[in-house]
């Protein structure tokens, strides 16, 4: 952490501009977004679906804070995931932040992204119930290319929020998969089918929280949860930094 005068000096020499609105950043915030854009980057607000974690848009303004399942989750509950939680909506500054993190190696953004997750966990989750935090794994080839797994960094950053939980790496991606965002719904499912496996038997009877950066179609996390349940996990919930709406199928990957 630099002193204020050093920060001011650095700002004069190397001005930084907000990646969302181009305003000059004068504080030591997160280095990429001005406080206005970061604070406004979309929070998800109650009531949530108690299955997929998405907010019920039509209920806003009705004064209800009671969460309840959406029609999709009522009709076809996820067989492997008990409940999903998204700390923010995937859009605006959060979308930019996740792209900078994943594709431009800006791992410094883990801290502000995890801060949004901390606030959400405190407000909305029963953190004491989880035994294990498990990040969605990358295939080792992609891990070697990128140099880090953003989901693991996020899991490390939020671990202290879960009083009983430990970090567990027994979930593996056993074959490489194509980028999900370029694929249709059916292709997505086929792409990740059988891509994950669990090493060892540490999951028997455990309540697991699976951690990922973004969820769009839930295909990847569902396939992970299936492997975890088949390995004996009693319950699998999912927590992601940002939840994309079903409609926002904008390509996640700028390649
Ligand atoms: Zn801004
Ligand atoms: Zn739902």
Q: What is the CATH number of the domain that holds 182?
A: 3.40.50
pLDDT at 178: 75
Residues 211 and 110 in one domain: yes
Q: Which residues of the chain have pLDDT under 50?
A: 248-255
Overall domain count for the chain: 2
Q: How far is the CA of 58 from the centre of ligand 2 (A)?
A: 14
Q: How far is the CA of 64 from the centre of ligand 2 (A)?
A: 17
Report yes or no on 178 lying in a domain: yes
Report yes or no on 133 lying in a domain: yes
Report yes or no on 112 lying in a domain: yes
pLDDT at 228: 98
Residues 205 and 92 in one domain: yes
Residue 227's H or E segment, with its range, is helix 219-230
**Which listed ligand is nearest to 41 at the C-alpha?**
1
Report yes or no on 67 lying in a domain: no
Residues 133 and 86 in one domain: yes
Q: How far is the CA of 152 from the centre of ligand 1 (A)?
A: 28
**Which listed ligand is nearest to 77 at the C-alpha?**
2
pLDDT at 183: 73
Q: Hey, which bits of 36-136 come out as E strands?
A: 83-89, 132-135
**Which listed ligand is nearest to 48 at the C-alpha?**
2
Report yes or no on 101 lying in a domain: yes
Q: How far is the CA of 37 from the centre of ligand 1 (A)?
A: 4
Q: Which domain holds residue 24?
A: 1-36
Q: How far is the CA of 19 from the centre of ligand 1 (A)?
A: 7
Residues 31 and 127 in one domain: no
pLDDT at 253: 37
pLDDT at 250: 42
Distance between CA atoms of residues 198 and 27, nearest Å:
44
pTM as predicted: 0.88
pLDDT at 61: 56
Residues 27 and 94 in one domain: no
Residues 150 and 206 in one domain: yes
């Amino acid at each position: 952490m630099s002193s204020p005068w050093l920060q001011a000096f650095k700002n004069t020499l190397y001005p930084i501009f907000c990646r969302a609105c181009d305003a000059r950043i004068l504080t030591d915030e997160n280095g990429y977004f001005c406080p206005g854009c970061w604070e406004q980057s979309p929070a998800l607000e109650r009531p949530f679906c108690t299955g997929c974690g998405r907010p019920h848009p039509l209920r806003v303004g009705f004064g209800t804070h009671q969460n309840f399942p959406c029609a999709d989750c009522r009709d076809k509950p996820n067989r492997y995931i008990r409940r999903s939680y998204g700390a923010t909506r995937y859009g605006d500054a959060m979308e930019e932040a996740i792209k900078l993190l994943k594709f431009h190696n800006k791992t410094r953004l883990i801290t502000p992204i995890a801060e949004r997750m901390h606030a959400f966990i405190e407000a909305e989750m029963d953190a004491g119930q989880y035994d294990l935090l498990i990040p969605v794994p990358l295939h080792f080839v992609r891990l070697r290319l990128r140099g880090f797994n953003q989901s693991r960094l996020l899991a490390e950053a939020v671990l202290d929020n879960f009083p009983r939980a430990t970090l567990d790496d027994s979930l593996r991606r056993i074959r490489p998969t194509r980028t999900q965002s370029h694929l249709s719904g059916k292709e997505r499912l086929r792409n990740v089918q059988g891509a994950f496996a669990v090493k060892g038997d540490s999951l028997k009877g455990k309540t697991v929280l699976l951690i990922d950066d973004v969820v769009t179609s839930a295909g990847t996390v569902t396939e992970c949860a299936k492997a975890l349940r088949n390995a004996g996990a009693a319950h699998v919930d999912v927590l992601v930094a940002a939840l994309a709406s079903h409609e926002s199928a904008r390509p996640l990957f700028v390649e």
